[in-house]
């Protein structure tokens, strides 16, 4: 199946943003380990952050799909074949 390059690019940029956020959070987590905060607190924080990130990814993907439908008739984004103006 042909997938719109623009749609793929927007998904990739979203993933890049999430990756940046994750690497920033990893740096912060390392700082926590270096200080005298107990392991259990850091572990709980890490799990909570991971759950937040996963929920964020799911939410972003759902939003992208809903906002950017791709027409299966003319392959343009923003509308579906039902509302296609290029269709006779």
Q: Token pair for residue 83?
A: 């509302």
10 Å Cβ neighbour count for 71?
19
Closest distance between Zn ion and the C-beta of residue 69, in Å? 10
Site membership for Zn ion, residue 55 (CB under 5 A): no
Using CB under 5 A, which of the segments 10-18, 27-35, 39-47, 68-76 binds Zn ion?
Answer: 68-76
Site membership for Zn ion, residue 74 (CB under 5 A): yes
Token look-up 């994750």 returns 22
Reduced to 3 states, what is the DSSP secondary structure of residue 44? helix
Site membership for Zn ion, residue 46 (CB under 5 A): no
């Amino acid at each position: 199946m042909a997938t719109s390059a623009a749609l793929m690019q927007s998904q990739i940029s979203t993933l890049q943003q999430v990756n940046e956020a994750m690497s920033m959070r990893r740096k912060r987590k390392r700082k926590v380990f270096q200080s005298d905060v107990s392991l259990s607190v850091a572990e709980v924080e890490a799990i909570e952050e991971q759950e937040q990130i996963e929920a964020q990814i799911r939410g972003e993907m759902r939003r992208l799909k809903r906002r950017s439908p791709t027409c299966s008739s003319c392959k343009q984004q923003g509308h579906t074949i039902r509302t296609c103006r290029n269709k006779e």
